[in-house]
Amino acid sequence: MSLAPWRSRLTLALERNPQLNARYLQLATVGADNRPANRTVVFRGFYVDTDKLKFVVDARSQKITQIEQHPWAETCWYFPESREQFRISGCLTLVIANYPDLALQQARQDTWQELSDAARLQYTWPDPGQPKADAAAFESLPPNPKEPLPHFCLLLLQPVQVDHLELRGEPQNRWIYCRNDVNDWSTQAINP
């Protein structure tokens, strides 16, 4: 597969913004009440040989129901060092335990193994969003680093549109990349 034309721009942005925070971006979804939800997630790279962005989520969190009902999402990714923004919109796939596609099941397991111990430990904590449990409830042993806990999910975003804005241009530069039905990407320079 040839890479989408915006991939080289995103790679360059990640190189220009080497700090860990540059992998934090904001993922917006739509809730059952038709209202937007927006939270910070960590970019975990691309799913092998595709343009799908990888994230991890806890099946006990509120966003799971939102994603199951409305799989459409838009991420907003701002790079402070190079002063540029990528808005990436597309459809989400939630890879839960026992997901029917074996390759994705394997990807879920691989992603769990790539997490830090601290990140894995959070999946042993009591249910997110519930009234705060006693401190003791947070003192679990580290989970098995090989085998994901059942509520650990891999989340994939398949982009269909990317809006790239460079604030540093004179004037600012902005491009829209759109994917058509046969997976070809078009590129258009637009006014910022």
Please report whether residue 42 would count as binding a copy of itself according to CB under 8 A.
no
Among 12, 50, 68, 72, binds a copy of itself (CB under 8 A): 72
DSSP 9: H
Please report whether residue 192 would count as binding a copy of itself according to CB under 8 A.
yes
Measured distance CA(159)–CA(82) in Å, rounded? 22
Binding positions for a copy of itself, 135-154, rule CB under 8 A: 135, 138
Measured distance CA(77)–CA(61) in Å, rounded? 22
Please report whether residue 101 would count as binding a copy of itself according to CB under 8 A.
no
- One-letter amino acid of 21: N
Among 15, 68, 110, 127, binds a copy of itself (CB under 8 A): 127
* CA–CA distances in Å: residue 183 to residues 2, 71, 131: 11, 19, 45
CB of 176 to a copy of itself, least distance (A): 8
* CA–CA distances in Å: residue 185 to residues 70, 95, 100: 24, 26, 29
- Mapped onto helix, strand or coil, the DSSP state of residue 124 is helix
Please report whether residue 132 would count as binding a copy of itself according to CB under 8 A.
yes
Residues near a copy of itself (CB under 8 A) are 21, 24, 26-30, 34-40, 70, 72-76, 78, 80, 85, 87, 89, 122, 125-133, 135, 138, 171, 174, 176, 188-192
